[in-house]
Structure 1
Amino acid sequence: MPDHWTNSLFIQNGPFAGNTLENISPVSGGCIHQAWRIELSDGQKIFAKTNHKDLLNVLEVEAKGLKALKKWTNNSLITVPEPLLVEELSGRAVLLLPWLELSGDDQTALGQGLALMHQKSAKHNPEKFGWEEDGYIGKGIQPGGWLANWGEYFVNMRLIPQLKIASQWGLRIEDYQAILIALPSFLNEHQPSPSIVHGDLWGGNAAILQDGRGVLIDPAAWWADREVDIAMTKLFGGFSKKFYAGYEKVWPLPTSAQKRVEIYNLYHLINHANLFGGSYKEQCLRTLKTLKGSIIN
């Protein structure tokens, strides 16, 4: 059970002053945080994430990412939960979000809404790729900063930082210098515009509401080639034909997109290898070898 952080919600200046706590129960599925379902006396239901106070920045970055996605989403297709609170309470880092009832399985609106988010943000983009501060991809650091050149950004700010960490378990960066040199121009061939992207779009970070609308949670948001989101949906599965059909109906991908899927997913594979080890290491090495042969030769 949670400790005394819940008491801070109901003090005179607390966010739910005048309410009382009716029930709180743990929710499964969290990776590095504890998760809770909170029921208040006025009938509100709240989702809470908590961790040690030293990890408050992780939850702050998540809250900023949610707000960034929400700015560009059409609420008739996709819901992004609005952060209710993110702060330290009684020595705990706490993020509160509205509780959402999930039960649907038709991913059409999810695909359409994601495409619309990508498309709408691309029309009003900052004319550069990146993010204003360091973020997180899972438990790993996702460096911030900006560049106008997409290929250079992806290689220098996404792949190389992960490759440097991977050198600690034996991956030799020097073996892949040729591909790192060739990738920027290869990735720039289709001249992508910056779009706001979820950034960590595996099946566990998307869902369907009872009314059929999609839900996006736990982002690692930044301005990128929109294809990075679609590529990641193919890495671990969980997305249906209706999702992809919905996306294509709103903003079709270029026919060359398939050539970049493995490159974009390499970022996530190396991050997983650095965090979890195991078979992810072998997957990284196989992917690098494949890319070395297909792009250099």
Structure 2
Amino acid sequence: MTIPPSLIDALAAVLDAPPHDVRPVHGGDISRAARFTADSRPYLVKWHDRPPTPPPGWPDLFTAEAQGLARLTEAGAIRVPAPRAFAAAQDDCPAYIVLEWIETGHGDRREAGVKLGHGLAALHRVTAQAYGLDHGNYCGATPQANGWMDSWIAFYAERIDPAIYFGDREAELAMCHLFDGFPADFFRAYDEAWPPAAGRDDRRPLYQLYHLLNHLNLFGEGYGGQVDAILRRYVG
């Protein structure tokens, strides 16, 4: 993978050093990504040739991502990569965001799961006076409205699940269960730090429904069976 020349120029300008040692980074479906080095520091850059058009008054895709990371950093519960630069698409340069590169850990998986579980519980204890956020953002490339609401049920019914927002902690835990990416120690540690409310397991499929519908829309009928099973569970 090569970074577009126009983006190379933009990165050199914002970092005061030319990018080199570029390596592709895989795993995402929305943007292209690469690790690179500039002035002896490693970075991650993500870029998008045709980012979604922001609704009126909304930040663009990568501005919203930077704002979300800033919110998570302010909470002080879990380390997240710090944004170094971001910009909307201009002329022949794609939209991009440059992030601090955090190396993958090679320590004990159980210890990491426990630390993350405790950290997520601490993050969920950071609350607001209402549900939502002060700006819209995105789930992948899908624009998602926030807008403060006093009722969690109304918010979830109308706003669904933006990328970062103040809401019910069970919604995030349900997503963690959905694709089996988290170890059992993570969930045990979370419940140790903040025990579950009664009925959580019964509500989990309802919180997973939106993400399955989103995947059905993006990737096709492979997710249809899971969607149908949840609908039958709640509406017959």
Which band: TM-score by shorter chain?
0.7 to 0.9
Aligned residues: 222
Q: 2:19 aligns with which of 18, 21, 25?
A: 21
Contact preservation (8 Å) 1:73, 1:79: yes
Aligned to 2:57: none
C-alpha RMSD over aligned residues: 1.9
Q: Does 1:52 align with 2:49?
A: yes
SS class of match (1:47): strand
Offset, 1:55: 4.6
Residues 1-297 of structure 1: pairs in structure 2 closer than 5 A: 1-4=2-5, 5-10=7-12, 14-17=13-16, 19-40=17-38, 42-52=39-49, 54-55=51-52, 57-74=60-77, 78-88=78-88, 90-104=92-106, 105=109, 106-119=112-125, 121-122=126-127, 125=128, 127-158=129-160, 220-293=163-236
Offset, 1:101: 0.7
Contact preservation (8 Å) 2:35, 2:101: yes
Offset, 1:248: 1.7
TM-score, normalised to structure 1, is 0.70
Residues in 1 aligned to 2:190 and 2:226: alpha-carbon distance in whole angstroms: 28
Structure 1 gaps, min length 5: 159-198, 201-219
Structure 2 gaps, min length 5: 54-59
Offset, 1:45: 0.3
SS class of match (2:182): coil
RCO comparison, higher one (Cα < 8 Å, 6+): 1
Offset, 1:53: 5.9
TM-score, normalised to structure 2, is 0.86
Offset, 1:272: 1.3
State the one-letter code of the partner of 1:7.
D
Residues in 2 aligned to 1:268 and 1:286: alpha-carbon distance in whole angstroms: 14
Residues in 2 aligned to 1:227 and 1:248: alpha-carbon distance in whole angstroms: 11
Offset, 1:141: 2.5
Percent identity among equivalent residues? Answer: 30
Contact preservation (8 Å) 1:233, 1:239: yes
Residues in 1 aligned to 2:61 and 2:98: alpha-carbon distance in whole angstroms: 13
Residues in 1 aligned to 2:170 and 2:189: alpha-carbon distance in whole angstroms: 15
Residues in 2 aligned to 1:118 and 1:54: alpha-carbon distance in whole angstroms: 30
Larger Rg belongs to: 1
Residues in 1 aligned to 2:140 and 2:70: alpha-carbon distance in whole angstroms: 18
Structure 1, 45-54 or 226-235: larger mean CA deviation: 45-54
Contact preservation (8 Å) 1:86, 1:96: yes
Offset, 1:246: 1.6
SS class of match (2:74): helix
